[in-house]
Amino acid sequence: MMVSCRALILDHVVRGNSSVADSRLQARARRERTSVGRLVKRLIADGLQEVDDYEAIKAFRRHRGRTVALADVKKRLGLDRPLGL
């Protein structure tokens, strides 16, 4: 799903195939019941978030540090005890 949306934006912005891309974006926007502008903004935001996530993963792999087990984190935050309902 995301790949086809990226292709739509690339066709529209980079390659200049505006007639094909516009009709596909309009069809997609109608299916999602939103405007083309909002759809494009959301797709761009999603793409930027994916890039940020990828860069964070690369940075983590480059600077491997000490990891902490989930159980230890829960214990430190006091989340290891059952709720007293």
- The pLDDT score that the predictor gives to residue 81 is 81
- The pLDDT score that the predictor gives to residue 1 is 46
Domain ranges of the chain: 2-77
Among all chains, which residue has been given the structure tokens 């940075």? 59
- The pLDDT score that the predictor gives to residue 72 is 92
pLDDT at residue 5 greater than cutoff 70: no
Single-letter residue type at 64? R
Nearest to 39 by CA among 83, 85, 6: 6
Question: Model confidence over 18-70: pLDDT tens digits?
Answer: 677 788 889 999 999 999 889 989 989 999 999 999 999 898 888 877 788 99
pLDDT at residue 15 greater than cutoff 90: no
Q: Which residues contact 31 (CB under 8 A, 6 or more apart)?
A: none
Let me know the angle formed at the C-alpha of 65 by 63 and 66, rounded to the nearest 5 degrees: 170
* Tokens read off for 11: 């066709």
